[in-house]
């Protein structure tokens, strides 16, 4: 067994032991403040009878899900008991809650030989980027990663675990980008930042140790929307520097009355239709933006895009968005793969450190990224 395989096995074993220990009690996620302390090293404490009664509201909806995912949802939802619905929570509070979930989002994150953070100038101002190097020689193929969070929340820190997983499993360098957030910075500010970050990476390739001819993009949720929009914008501007894009359960249409929204949009599956409506309004506050193909990619002509890997979760209100995007991309002649993550909900990649079945899925993403960035 290789050293990397031994490390992965050890992480999986320790994670399984932790899950087993948590499952022995009626465990629920603590308050947001306690969760922040958990992220610093403490283990969540068991919940009370009220928490158990609250969680029973979701038991039937969660029954078909992956068993390990069900436990993680119990932990997360237990900590949200007593809070207003997400669609009613102010952006600053949403960001604090999101940051407080780092214990869950970054579980099982693999160590890497080199991680480097910088602050760069983007159209919205100064922003952080973080380069993850799995130990491959320069000039290295690289994936630009745009985090999710409904364009309203998310950061390099809450997505540190997944960025490490992408770098380790793809054996590419990963450059994670922090972009301007809505509603303070609605469209096109987040997209402009992502495009500028892609151009900055190509212009500073030698300093970063990356190959400017072998750059791909990846994103989840709103980050997938931005990754696809960046491909569209760079194609339109005659600078298609991205060799491909991995799009994980993105939002590509304003249609909130799809079959998957009706089936999975109640809020039991991490993302609800009400939250999605709120996120779109924060991102696109004016009607002109709502008709812009770079804001709503389902409106775009997809011809001439680089290869796409479209991943969707079985129990996600955005499932139909990914299915429709894949069908349109294939019809437009795009080299496109579709992967359904069975038994999973929106944000499954964020908690992949708790779910054994997600490792092979991210390995598939890594294989795609290696293929499209091959010399």
346 catalytic, yes or no?
A: yes
Q: Is the pLDDT of residue 29 over 50?
A: no
| Measured distance CA(310)–CA(337) in Å, rounded | 6
Handedness of CA 256, 258, 261, 263 (dihedral sign): positive
DSSP 256: -
Given a contact cutoff of 8 angstroms between Cβ atoms, the answer to whether 266 and 272 are in contact is yes
CB 122 within 8 A of CB 197: yes
Residues 66, 220, 316, 321: which is the catalytic one?
A: 316
What is the three-class DSSP state of 186? coil
- Residue 34 pLDDT: 45
pLDDT at 236 over 80: yes
325, burial (CB in 10 Å: exposed 0-12, middle 13-18, buried 19+):
buried
pLDDT at 47: 57
- How would you write 82-125 as a 3-class SS string? CCCCHHHCCHHHHHHHHHHCHHHHCCCCCCCCEEEEEEEEECCE
Q: Provide mean pLDDT across the span 154-171.
A: 98
Residue ranges of the alpha helices (H) in the chain?
A: 3-23, 32-39, 49-55, 59-62, 67-80, 91-100, 102-105, 160-170, 189-203, 205-208, 222-236, 259-264, 273-283, 287-290, 319-331, 358-372
Q: What is the mean pLDDT of residues 131-151?
A: 98
Domains, the chain, ordered by start: 3-101 (no CATH), 114-372 (3.40.50.1820)
**Is 301 among the residues known to form the active site?**
no
Look at residue 215 in the predicted model and tell me its pLDDT.
98
Determine the pLDDT at residue 80: 87
- Please report, for residues 44, 150, 151, 284, 295, the alpha-carbon distance to residue 191 in angstroms, rounded to integers and kept in the order given: 37, 13, 10, 12, 8
Active-site pick, 221, 222, 260, 322: 221
For 34-93, the pLDDT digits (tens) are 433 333 333 343 458 889 999 999 999 999 999 999 999 999 999 888 899 999 999 999
Task: Give residue 5's pLDDT.
Answer: 44
Beta bridge partners of 27: 46
Q: At what angle do helices 222-236 and 189-203 cross, to 10 degrees?
A: 70
Percentage, residues of the chain above pLDDT 90: 84
Q: Give the mean pLDDT of the chain.
A: 90
- Of 147, 192, 346, 350, the catalytic one is 346
* Residue 179 reports pLDDT greater than 90: yes
The pLDDT confidence band at residue 238, using thresholds 50, 70 and 90, is: confident
- The C-alpha atoms of residue 151 and residue 143 are separated, in whole angstroms, by 20
Instruction: Looking at 118-186, list the stretches that DSSP marks H as alpha helix, in order from N- to C-terminal side.
Output: 160-170
Write down the pLDDT at residue 109: 96
> CA angle at residue 297 from 292 to 300, to 5 degrees?
75
Angle at 337 between CA 292 and CA 167, to 5 degrees: 90
Residue by residue, DSSP assigns 277-292 as: HHHHHHH--SHHHHT-
The residue to which tokens 């780092």 are assigned: 102
Please confirm, yes or no, whether 253 is among the known catalytic residues.
no
């Amino acid at each position: 067994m290789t050293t990397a395989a031994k490390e992965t096995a050890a992480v999986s074993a320790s994670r399984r032991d932790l899950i087993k220990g948590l499952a022995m009690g009626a465990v629920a996620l603590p308050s947001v403040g306690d969760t922040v302390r958990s992220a610093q090293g403490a283990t969540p404490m068991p919940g009370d009878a009220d928490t158990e009664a609250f969680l029973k509201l979701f038991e039937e909806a969660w029954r078909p899900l992956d068993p390990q995912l069900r436990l993680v949802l119990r932990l997360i939802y237990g900590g949200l008991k007593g809070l207003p619905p997400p669609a009613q929570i102010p952006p600053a509070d949403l960001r604090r809650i999101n940051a407080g979930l780092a214990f869950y989002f970054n579980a099982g994150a693999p160590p890497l030989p080199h991680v480097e953070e910088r602050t760069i100038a983007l159209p919205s101002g100064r922003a952080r980027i973080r380069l993850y190097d799995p130990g491959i020689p320069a000039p290295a193929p690289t994936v630009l990663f745009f985090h999710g969070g409904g364009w309203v929340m998310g950061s390099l820190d809450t997505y540190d675990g997944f960025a490490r997983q992408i770098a380790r499993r793809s054996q590419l360098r990963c450059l994670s980008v922090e972009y301007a957030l809505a509603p303070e910075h609605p469209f096109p500010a987040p997209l402009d930042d992502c495009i500028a970050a892609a151009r900055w990476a190509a212009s500073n390739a030698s300093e970063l140790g990356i190959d400017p001819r072998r750059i791909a993009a990846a994103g989840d949720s709103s980050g997938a929307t931005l990754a696809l929009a960046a491909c569209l914008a760079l194609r339109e501007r005659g600078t298609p520097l991205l060799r491909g894009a991995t799009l994980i359960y993105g939002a590509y249409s304003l249609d909130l009355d799809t079959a998957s929204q009706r089936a999975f949009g109640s809020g039991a599956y991490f993302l609800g239709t009400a939250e999605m409506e709120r996120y779109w309004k924060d991102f696109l506050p004016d009607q002109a933006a709502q008709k812009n193909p770079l804001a709503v990619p389902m409106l775009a002509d997809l011809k001439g895009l680089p290869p796409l890997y479209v991943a969707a979760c079985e129990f996600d209100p955005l499932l139909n968005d990914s299915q429709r995007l894949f069908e349109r991309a294939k019809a437009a002649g795009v080299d496109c793969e579709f992967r359904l993550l069975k038994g999973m909900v929106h944000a499954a990649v964020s908690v992949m450190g708790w779910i054994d079945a997600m490792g092979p899925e991210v390995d598939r993403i890594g294989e795609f990224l290696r293929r499209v960035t091959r010399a």
